[in-house]
Amino acid sequence: MKFKINFASESPELLDQCNILIKEIIKNGNEQIDSSQEANFVINLIDLDNPVAHRRKSHEEMVVSLALIQEPRTEMKSISYGALVKSLSNMLFCIIRPVGNEPPTAYSITPEVGFMEFRYSAETIYKYMYPVISSHFAIKNKISIDLPFAESQSFPEVTDLIEYGKELKKLGVLPTPFKLHNFLNQDQIDHLYRLYQIKGLSYGNLSIRNTNHGMNGSTFWMTARGVDKSQLKGVGTDIVLVKGYDKKLGNMLISVPLGYDPRIRVSVDAIEHYMIYKEFPNVGAIVHVHAWIENVKCTTQVYPCGTHELAKNAVALLKKTSSPERTEIGLKNHGLTITGPDIRDIFDRIRDKLQTNVPIFN
């Protein structure tokens, strides 16, 4: 893969750490290129208190930001997450300035809030960043205005999504969506929307296989991107019908009615849900939450949401369970994907089992 460096910070000590990391990246078969060329990933050097975003050309260009500070601070997780969002990064590493011969401590965080403290080394940084920089997103949408029904019509699947979205909040696993205006200016938000087509940041999603309305197979109703799942309103506003995936163009194919919100996009996890419904015909519903259940099988790599790699890992892990159509699997440092014959069955199973804190694994 090809990479370049964005020098948003020119701290000499950070540059020293970056040079060590560059050697490790090149040692693993990657090529450093000029800043004017197109890269697979970018190492973005930032100041934690004033993070500057790298203006990438496409969402396929992954950005890993690197910061250096004097000593750990209280609320390192929230500080790191704020810097991650402001720098528009796929991953952020914050290194605590080394003292003497002791190996420095470092922190990493992802948009899925996989937050981890570890002993810093260039080898460890590369190990943690590799699943991110080698991933491929499947988050683009092709929208068809082809749902021929009146707004007053009610569909059981849509009604269930609205009902169980409220249930997620009752279970304490549905944080309020992050308002991007709290972190970014309008120009940055517009840039982020062009890249990822998101209106906000929110966690968790729900989907239900579609068995009516003239369509069948792997079509499914799903919550939209960046919306508050506890206050879902309906189709075309914050719920869409996913009717397929165009692998060649990388588009999720979604259906909406006339009068839909033109900024609506399906959840970035749609590719995972699509692959699960396609692979397991008896799965009738899927719930994804940033929570945990003891003793679940778990993926071994931290791939970003919305990537082929995460979706393939989830399908492969489901195949290793005794009942793929009715089980829970863990996504490393991220949360759970839960399948069931219907959405009611899923919630009946998980109500007394969910833990709101996701354990972090090295």
- CB-based contacts of 229: which residues, under 8 Å, 6+ apart? 165, 168, 169, 174, 202, 204, 205, 206, 223
CB 245 within 8 A of CB 233: no
CB 103 within 8 A of CB 207: no
CB 128 within 8 A of CB 109: no
DSSP string, 78-103: HHHHHHHHHTT-SEEEEEEPP-TTSP
| Nearest alpha carbon to residue 226 among 191, 269, 257 | 269
Quick check: helix, strand or coil at residue 35? coil
CB 115 within 8 A of CB 107: yes
pLDDT at 202: 72
pLDDT at 312: 97
C-beta neighbour count of 325 within 10 angstroms: 15
| Nearest alpha carbon to residue 169 among 101, 233, 249, 229 | 229
- CB-based contacts of 26: which residues, under 8 Å, 6+ apart? 32
pLDDT at 174: 77
Which helix H or strand E contains 167, and what residues bound it? Answer: helix 156-170
pLDDT at 150: 54
Q: Write the DSSP symbol of residue 242.
A: E
User: β-pairing, 297-298 with 328-331?
Assistant: parallel
pLDDT at 46: 96
Two tokens at 96? 């605590």
Q: What is the 3-state secondary structure (H, E, C) of 249-302?
A: CCEEEEEECCCCCCCCCECCCHHHHHHHHHHCCCCCEEEEECCECCCCEECCCC
Gap between the Cα atoms of 88 and 170, Å rounded: 31
Q: What is the pLDDT along the chain (362 residues), one digit of tens a residue?
A: 999 999 999 899 999 999 999 999 999 999 999 988 889 999 999 999 999 988 887 778 999 999 999 888 888 988 898 898 888 899 999 999 877 777 789 999 998 878 899 999 999 999 999 999 999 999 999 999 988 765 546 789 999 999 999 999 899 887 655 566 666 677 766 666 565 556 566 778 999 999 875 555 679 999 998 888 999 999 999 999 999 999 998 899 999 998 899 989 999 999 999 999 999 999 999 999 999 999 999 999 999 989 999 999 999 999 999 999 999 999 999 999 999 999 999 999 999 999 988 888 87
pLDDT at 22: 97
What does pTM read for this prediction?
Answer: 0.91
pLDDT at 7: 94
Instruction: Provide the b/e sequence for 128-139 (b: ≥16 CB within 10 Å).
Output: bbbbbbebebbb
C-beta neighbour count of 9 within 10 angstroms: 20
Gap between the Cα atoms of 85 and 96, Å rounded: 20
DSSP string, 329-357: EEETTTEEEEEESSHHHHHHHHTTT-BSS
pLDDT at 152: 47
DSSP string, 48-67: TTS------SSTTSEEEEEE
